[in-house]
Structure 1
Amino acid sequence: MKVIVCGAGQVGTSVARYLSEENISVSIIDPSIEVLQELNNIDILTVQGSATYIKILEASGIAEADAILAVTRSDEVNMLICQIAASLYNTPLKIARIRNQEYLSSKWSSLYNRDNIPVDVIISPEREVASYIAENLSYTGGFDMFSLFDGVAQSIATLCTADSDLNGQPIKVLHLLHSNIPIKIMAIGRDRRTLVPNEETILQPNDVVHFIVKKNQLHDALALFGHEHTELSRLLIVGGGAVGFSLAKHLEHENSDLIVKLLESNKSRAETIAPRLRKAIVLHGKGLDKELLLEANIQATDTVVSVTNDENVNVLMSLFAKEFSVKRTLALVNSDMYIPLSSALKINALIHPHKITILSILKHIRSRRDLKTIHTLPDHSWELMEIQVQEDVEATGLTAEEVYKKTYGHVVAILRDDGVVFADKSIQLHKGDSVAVLIKPQHRRKLENLFASTHQFF
């Protein structure tokens, strides 16, 4: 498989790194030679220049490309790149990042097709993040959510609270006492590190528990860790930028009973978005203004979501909200420095917009391969992979224990005959299985080779 990446910003370079590690041929185009030189340690082809120039695209190998990803700073350039790829090279998959919400209006949905602007997949980071936050808000106590097996199962994280009956108990007790709610605990975050547990591992208060469960049992599973489901009734959004506004619009459409208030520090922006929201109340002011928060009735608020452009403000806002006894806080951050502190700071979820965008892009590219998804745990120490077992691969017939010995990967769940099976070390892999495997990034290639077809490498 060959992929052309246009734009060597944070998203473009991250996608290129991931794909290169998966033995995919990658070319990346950017006008800046300095930026491209920073990628010399990656096994990719770098091409300096504008991705709208035919000779530059030719140099990148566009004629043989299976997919092109346009993530330059300009929406218009990204659309033009897809147009050139379709018109001159008939590139099968064309993905464009488009930020301007005017281009994304439902009125213009017919614009993006083969006969007009041939973009197969539109990536709107703000809408992706808003949708991700909205899904996290649906499950009390849950965060870092990720769908598996086309939505049949869910990977999710939660804090094991002091009120949970599981505190001080080994994991095997969970399975014995709650066999009607089958879950697979695949990792535990404790003392700023992530460990893979066994049946004898004892759960402790404030453990960050990463587990897999059937989606229709999510609420029941979270309750085991002390998070009884409560319907969200009052929400405060701090920051009325593209993410905050998109989230408010999304929630208005999905939950008509939810009371949403939005704080925006820029008066002009507040006046712009207020009439575009049907129910949400827009207040002008800073989120850290105590008087304004009292006016917004923060003490009666269930959840505060802080999505300003300043990650430090977002984290401080989450801490401030806890002082008003807000049960749940979510903060948007762009760096990793707060990850090891999130539990100590009692922030319920950190939202990483770049990570969400990257995973969305990778999902579309990987959908054309047997390797379907990869989800990285928050501290980046482990990855959750979903791989299809083909007939002519070495993995067929192996037990989970044998897979671990060959790859150091932990088989955690299997989709078989439309049912989810949580793996133990003796379970055997069958042709047609979809397999979820937890593995360290440095061992990923071993796992991919084990599942590689003898006729074609993914």
Structure 2
Amino acid sequence: MKVIICGAGQVGYGIAERLSQEGNDVSVIDVSASLISATTDMLDVRGYVGHGAHPDVLAKAGADQADMIIAVTLYDEINMVACQVAHSLFNVPTKIARIRAQSYLQSHYSDLFSRDHMPIDVTISPEVEVGKMVLRRISYPGATDIVRFVDDNVAMLAIECTEDCPVLNTPLAQLAQLFPDLMATVTGVYREGRLFIARSGDQLRAGDLAYVICHRDHTRRTLSLFGHEETEARRIVIAGGGNIGYYVAKTIEEMQPKTSLKIIEANRDRAIAISEQLNHAIVLNGSVLEQNILQQVDIQDAELLVALTNNDQTNILSAVMAKELGCKSSLVLLNNPSFHDMTKAVGIDAHINPRAVTISRVLQHVRKGRIRSVYAVQKGAAEVIEAEALETSPLVGVPFRDLELPKGIRLGAIYRDGKMLTLNGDTKIKAKDRVVLFALAESVRHVEQMFRVSIQYF
């Protein structure tokens, strides 16, 4: 596939890195010569210095032969115009744009991005996507990661197995026998730097990170089974009142009005603006790295600090300071992957990688076949994939016990007619079933093959 990416910032670079690793023909455009130089030095991609919305620049990047354009510059309007030019002048089939301003995304303006107006096939709003991720992590503090599939009916949980985890050293097949009514399947395990597919004879060990696919109504029970019964925080301090911080605060006010919420925002005008838009939250103007500001929000009584500024170092340091002053737990936003591995060493309880969220949204549109949703884990080492089964799929009509799945793939859930099925040896997949599975990176192409549309199949 030939892909043009407009924007070589952190998100654009991450998308280019992933797509180029998979053998796609990738071209990256950015006005910054230094960013393009750094990208082409590190990745097997072509780079072009220029404005991503300019026809001559798109032409140089090969837009006339491109299958997809992904516009992820810092500016919504550039992303929108780049897609329009790609459509009108070069007839690029698939156009994806990052749109940050919520004004463009309001439901009563839904026709704006239609083919007759501004032809954008997919809009990605990182702030909303990340905001939803933050809210899920607040709701389920025992999960290291949590993502929803099949219209929010199926969940993927990443759960850390501690020393007192009740299910350690027990074959996974035995767990299914002990809890037959629990709709949850361990699909992958990350152990000592290695990610592998979980099989029925495997046993979990202390220190493992288990990837479990379950029915959304069984989420808390699944976490409890793994020894995680942490309660949801009711006294929360948010560092950063930008788009993500405001979205999180507004949603908490609407969904959990009894939660005590305090926000620290460094920009005075922004602090005033969000304080007028929020009903109950207390907003303070100041730096989250100032001890007296943290004391003013009673950080010693807070159950959770959520650090959502646009500066990784600020997020890390604020979490460390908050814990030192008595805050029970911390959740921080980290864009730079280099910081992810050192979070535990400095006492950070949980982190979210916004770049991974955006890249996952893009991947579902890159994947061939009837792929509905994709979420990458462990820096792209594996993907949790939701797909729709077609009559032509080799999975359809075959009992589970007889399925010969390619190596590196494990089925986690089948959803049919509004219900999640219990998986056993007799279970058969039918056409139109929604299937959620865990696939190692090298096996993703097999998943595409299994769920490709019939015209490709023949």
Return the TM-score normalized by structure 2: 0.82
Per-residue Cα deviation, 1:236-293 (whole angstroms, up to 9, x for no partner): 1012233223322332233322221011234454344333322211123333444433
CA contact (8 A) 1:183 1:211 kept: yes
What secondary structure does 1:358 align onto?
helix
CA contact (8 A) 1:69 1:96 kept: yes
Distance in 2 (CA, whole Å) between partners of 1:158 and 1:420 is: 21
**Amino acid aligned to 1:178:** F
Distance 1:173 1:364, change over 3 A: same
Per-residue Cα deviation, 1:48-71 (whole angstroms, up to 9, x for no partner): 543333344445554566653222
CA contact (8 A) 1:412 1:422 kept: no
Partner of 2:263: 262
Distance in 2 (CA, whole Å) between partners of 1:247 and 1:57 is: 37
Distance in 2 (CA, whole Å) between partners of 1:320 and 1:168 is: 37
2:324 matched to 1:351? no
Deviation for aligned residue 1:454: 6.9
What secondary structure does 1:439 align onto?
strand
**Amino acid aligned to 1:183:** A
Counterparts of 1:42-441 in structure 2, within 5 Å, are 49-58=50-59, 60=61, 62=63, 67-88=68-89, 93-100=94-101, 112-113=113-114, 117-161=118-162, 164-167=165-168, 169-228=170-229, 230-323=231-324, 326-343=327-344, 347-363=348-364, 366=367, 369-396=369-396, 406-416=406-416, 418-421=418-421, 431-441=431-441
Distance in 1 (CA, whole Å) between partners of 2:25 and 2:402 is: 30
Distance 1:20 1:446, change over 3 A: farther
Per-residue Cα deviation, 1:328-377 (whole angstroms, up to 9, x for no partner): 421111122343444565534211111112222334555x8413333222
**Amino acid aligned to 2:376:** T
Distance in 2 (CA, whole Å) between partners of 1:378 and 1:184 is: 19
Distance in 1 (CA, whole Å) between partners of 2:396 and 2:21 is: 23
Distance 1:41 1:284, change over 3 A: closer
Distance in 2 (CA, whole Å) between partners of 1:235 and 1:2 is: 45
What secondary structure does 1:175 align onto?
helix
Distance in 1 (CA, whole Å) between partners of 2:44 and 2:452 is: 20
**Amino acid aligned to 1:189:** Y
% identical aligned pairs: 33
Distance 1:60 1:81, change over 3 A: same
**Amino acid aligned to 1:9:** G
Per-residue Cα deviation, 1:400-450 (whole angstroms, up to 9, x for no partner): 688766443233333355543465688665544443332322333344345
Distance in 2 (CA, whole Å) between partners of 1:326 and 1:261 is: 13
Deviation for aligned residue 1:235: 1.1
CA contact (8 A) 1:371 1:385 kept: yes
Query: What RMSD over aligned residues (CA atoms) do the two structures have, in Å?
Result: 3.9
Q: Gapped runs of 5+ residues in structure 2?
A: none
CA contact (8 A) 1:22 1:445 kept: no
**Amino acid aligned to 1:76:** E
Deviation for aligned residue 1:97: 1.8
CA contact (8 A) 2:394 2:450 kept: yes
CA contact (8 A) 2:76 2:100 kept: yes
Distance 1:327 1:400, change over 3 A: farther
Per-residue Cα deviation, 1:89-110 (whole angstroms, up to 9, x for no partner): 6656543223346656789767
Distance 1:114 1:417, change over 3 A: closer
Q: Gapped runs of 5+ residues in structure 1?
A: none
CA contact (8 A) 2:385 2:437 kept: yes
Deviation for aligned residue 1:204: 4.4
Partner of 1:7: 7
Distance 1:139 1:79, change over 3 A: same
Distance in 1 (CA, whole Å) between partners of 2:236 and 2:411 is: 38
CA contact (8 A) 1:240 1:308 kept: yes
CA contact (8 A) 1:371 1:388 kept: yes
